[in-house]
């Protein structure tokens, strides 16, 4: 089946066409992502109203480009999917309304996909892995450890009490006068610095539940920086290195706890899977490799362009849902908040009423 997917929940306007075979294999026919980084750079973060307006301006062009590159007509599609949340509501409305319009005019099923669900299912598009698996989702807006047990069957094992990891990277970059988005800049500076110069805390260490907290670490970093300001280039590099090492240690400790909780509840997972922009960070990727090795399971790291926000993950999640008959009505509402455990799943057996006449 062929599905068009649209993503507009944050600062990427994205559309893609993905094919899913009856056996569950995936193929990306096109994947167009337009990032609004330049629009938000002056503010050091995403400005919701600017994001919504930017989505409106480019969405038609991005969808047309995705269809053209895939060499597919709307009539060829089996369904249309859009991220219906969670996210910045102005942007979500743009993407979902566009998908509804196309589905309505072309008389195709609509799939209102949860953005986090799409991150969670991407590893099945790239690596065709079986359920259940343990997902570490770390982006600018989310930090969660999830048990992915089936399409629509997600259990959140842990989350952050305050900042998302990507958000902490972004704020650290802003504090130190580096650019936006901050993650890649902090990683670059950290590579030149001394990670042991500043003694920063590792919040939540050794707790049983795999929850995160980053505000104490951020405060400690700010106090160290204030104490030595104005900062030299070496100071900035050392602060970045010390911060990143603390985050790496936190990720290792918290995910180790997560894998333990997973195994106790559901048995060994088939894989450890990473998603979200933070999975681009090399030291964090190395740590995930160590953890998977310890647990004796595979590590699935989708290619970077599929770890960050994109349309292919939405199209794929839509295809996985469509294959199970999980479509949505046209009055489905966009949602700013939409926890994964509130995503509808196919439960029990489908009735075959056509055969019972
Ligand atoms: O998944 P994503 O593209 O967008 C959402 O937030 O949904 O993730 C973006 C986040 C930003 O906070 C960015 O700073 C962070 O991922 N990030 C990184 C790196 N690359 C991106 N964080 C640490 N190291 C990186 N190399
Ligand atoms: Zn995302």
Block means of pLDDT (10 residues each) for the chain, 357 residues, are 96 95 96 85 78 89 98 98 96 97 98 96 96 96 95 95 96 93 95 98 97 97 97 98 98 98 97 94 97 97 92 98 96 94 68 60
pTM assigned to the model = 0.91
CB 22 within 8 A of CB 130: no
pLDDT reported for residue 263: 97
Q: How far is the CA of 183 from the centre of ligand 1 (A)?
A: 6
Which residues form the pocket of ligand 1, taking CB atoms under 6 Å from any ligand atom?
10, 139-141, 166-167, 169-170, 181-184, 187, 276-278, 280-281, 308-309
Q: What is the pLDDT of residue 61?
A: 96
**Ligand 2 centre distance from Cα of residue 334 (Å):** 16
Alpha-carbon span 227 to 145, nearest angstrom: 35
Whole-angstrom Cα distance, residue 170 to residue 158? 22
Among the bound ligands, the one closest to the CA of 307: 1
Residue 327 backbone dihedrals phi, psi, to 5 degrees: -110, 170
**pLDDT given for residue 295 in this prediction:** 96
Q: Which of 35, 36, 29 has its CA nearest to residue 4?
A: 29
């Amino acid at each position: 089946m062929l599905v068009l997917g649209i993503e507009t929940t944050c600062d990427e306007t994205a559309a893609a066409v993905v094919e899913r075979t009856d056996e569950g294999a995936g193929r990306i026919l096109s994947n167009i992502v337009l990032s609004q980084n330049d629009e938000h750079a002056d503010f050091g973060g995403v400005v919701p109203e600017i994001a919504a307006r930017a989505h409106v301006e480019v969405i038609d062009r991005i969808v047309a480009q995705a269809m053209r590159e895939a060499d597919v007509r709307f009539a060829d599609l089996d369904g249309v999917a859009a991220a219906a949340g969670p996210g910045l509501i102005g942007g979500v409305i743009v993407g979902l309304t566009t998908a509804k319009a196309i589905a309505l005019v072309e008389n195709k099923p609509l799939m209102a996909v949860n953005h986090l669900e799409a991150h969670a299912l991407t590893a099945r598009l790239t690596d065709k892995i079986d359920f259940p698996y343990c997902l570490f989702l770390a982006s600018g807006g989310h930090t969660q450890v999830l048990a992915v047990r089936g399409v629509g069957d997600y259990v959140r094992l842990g989350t952050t009490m305050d900042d998302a990891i990507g958000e902490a990277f972004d704020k650290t970059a802003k504090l130190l006068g580096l650019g936006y988005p901050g993650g890649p800049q902090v990683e670059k500076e950290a590579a030149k610095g001394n990670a042991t110069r500043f003694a920063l805390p590792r919040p939540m260490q050794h707790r049983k539940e795999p929850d995160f907290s980053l505000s104490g670490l951020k405060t400690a970093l700010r106090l160290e920086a204030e104490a030595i300001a104005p900062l030299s280039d070496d100071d900035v590099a050392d602060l970045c290195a010390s911060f990143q090492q603390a985050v790496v240690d936190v990720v290792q400790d918290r995910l180790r706890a997560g894998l333990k909780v997973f195994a106790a509840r559901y048995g060994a997972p088939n894989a450890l899977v990473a998603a979200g922009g933070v999975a681009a960070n090399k030291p964090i990727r190395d740590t995930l490799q160590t953890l998977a090795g310890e647990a004796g399971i595979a590590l699935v790291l989708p290619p970077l362009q599929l770890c960050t926000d994109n349309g292919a993950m939405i199209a794929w999640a839509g295809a996985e849902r469509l294959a199970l008959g999980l479509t949505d009505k046209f009055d489905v509402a966009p949602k700013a908040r939409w926890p994964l455990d509130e995503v509808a799943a196919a439960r029990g057996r489908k009735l075959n009423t056509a055969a019972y006449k």
